[in-house]
């Protein structure tokens, strides 16, 4: 019992929770993007409507609360470790925090509209007028999270197994790349909130439209971010 009450013991319990929740969160992210989305392209209207009403809400519950526990346990681990951690963990954490905000501020609110619209149609009513734009916004944010997840998982592992000393310049360069991609992914939400009157248009799927495209883009983003943290001092 003494081991559990040491800092190392607390960190191990947090890390265990971090793994369990992270596998749940990212596993469902990949399910939505690699399996469900592709199925919906081919499914009959009735089957798709039934899945949206009955399956999607259940999956989204585990998805969004998995994100919460993953974030909280990750922040707990970083808090126990204190200052002076590797550059890799800060890059990974930035990606994870943006992914978390995308879940709760974009994906979940817009998916609620999609679910409500499908339910209304199934009950003999009309589809909600905003359902199509909500689906597009949620889809772009979900694809952006899939893009981010690939380097995020690399940098979380590299923070222990292939760490780089912290460099503010390197972190700033990596953050600029990441935030530019996040701007594109969050553009529909930001536009609807009225924040973009003087900012450039974005919100395009581009190469992340397809499953293979988002996987290759994620691997490419990992390579770019690795080169930044490895060579910029």
Q: pLDDT tens track of the chain, all 233 residues?
A: 455 568 888 999 999 999 999 999 999 999 999 999 999 999 999 999 999 999 999 999 999 999 999 999 999 999 999 888 999 999 999 999 999 999 999 999 999 999 999 999 999 999 999 999 999 999 999 999 999 999 999 999 999 999 999 999 999 999 999 999 999 999 998 888 777 777 788 999 999 999 999 999 999 999 999 999 999 98
**Alpha-carbon distance values, 2 to 5, 16, 116 (Å):** 5, 18, 51
Non-local CB neighbours of 137 within 8 Å, separated by 6+ positions: 106, 110, 188, 189, 192
Non-local CB neighbours of 108 within 8 Å, separated by 6+ positions: 60, 64
Write down the pTM of the prediction: 0.94
Closest CA to 164 of 221, 232, 222, 219: 232
Q: What angle do CA 73, 76, 80 make, to 5 degrees?
A: 145
């Amino acid at each position: 019992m003494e081991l559990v009450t040491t800092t190392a013991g607390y960190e191990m319990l947090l890390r265990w929770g971090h793994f369990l929740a992270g596998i749940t969160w990212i596993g469902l992210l990949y399910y939505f993007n690699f399996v469900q989305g592709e199925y919906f392209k081919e499914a009959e209207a009735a089957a798709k409507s039934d899945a949206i009403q009955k399956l999607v809400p259940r999956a989204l519950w585990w998805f969004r609360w998995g994100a919460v526990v993953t974030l909280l346990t990750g922040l707990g681990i970083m808090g126990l470790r204190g200052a002076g951690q590797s550059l890799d963990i800060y890059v990974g954490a930035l990606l994870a925090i943006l992914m978390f905000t995308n879940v709760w501020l974009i994906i979940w609110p817009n998916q609620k509209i999609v679910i409500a619209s499908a339910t209304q149609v199934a009950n003999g009513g009309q589809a909600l007028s905003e359902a199509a734009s909500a689906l597009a916004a949620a889809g772009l944010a979900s694809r952006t999270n899939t893009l981010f997840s690939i380097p995020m998982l690399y940098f979380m592992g590299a923070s222990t197994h292939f760490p780089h000393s912290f460099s503010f310049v390197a972190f700033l360069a990596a953050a600029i790349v990441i935030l530019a991609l996040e701007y594109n992914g969050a553009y529909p939400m930001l536009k609807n909130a009225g924040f973009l009157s003087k900012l450039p248009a974005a919100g395009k799927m581009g190469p992340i439209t397809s499953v293979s495209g988002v996987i290759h883009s994620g691997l490419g983003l990992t390579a770019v971010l690795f080169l930044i943290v490895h060579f910029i001092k």
